[in-house]
Amino acid sequence: MADTLKKGAFVKAIPEKLANTLEAKASDSRFPSYIFESKGEILDLNDEYALVKFYTPTPSVWLKLDHLELVK
């Protein structure tokens, strides 16, 4: 899946893949529902993470590529 993710793509987080991850344990594990229910746009990428802007009044967030899926 990560091979198809690129800048400008619309994505959302996958709850099952994000639960119990290092990222979830490193901060509040109660993620906001909008990262799972609404689409965000990939602004930047590196080897393992994507900077995603959700269209809510919140900052962009880095999420692991394995935790994202494309949204149509």
Average pLDDT of the residues of the chain: 89
Distances (CA, A) of 3 to 19, 23, 47, 58, 59: 22, 21, 11, 27, 25
Instruction: Check: CB of residue 6 under 8 Å from CB of residue 69.
Output: no
pTM (two decimals): 0.84
The pLDDT value recorded for residue 30 is 83
Instruction: Give the residue numbers spanning the domain of 45.
Output: 2-70
pLDDT in tens, 29-39: 788 899 999 99
Cross-strand bridge partners of residue 68: 13
Give the count of domains, the chain: 1
pLDDT in tens, 1-57: 445 899 999 999 999 998 888 877 787 778 889 999 999 999 999 999 999 999 989
Which SS3 state, helix, strand or coil, does residue 5 take?
A: coil
CATH of the domain at 10: 2.30.30.30
The pLDDT value recorded for residue 3 is 55
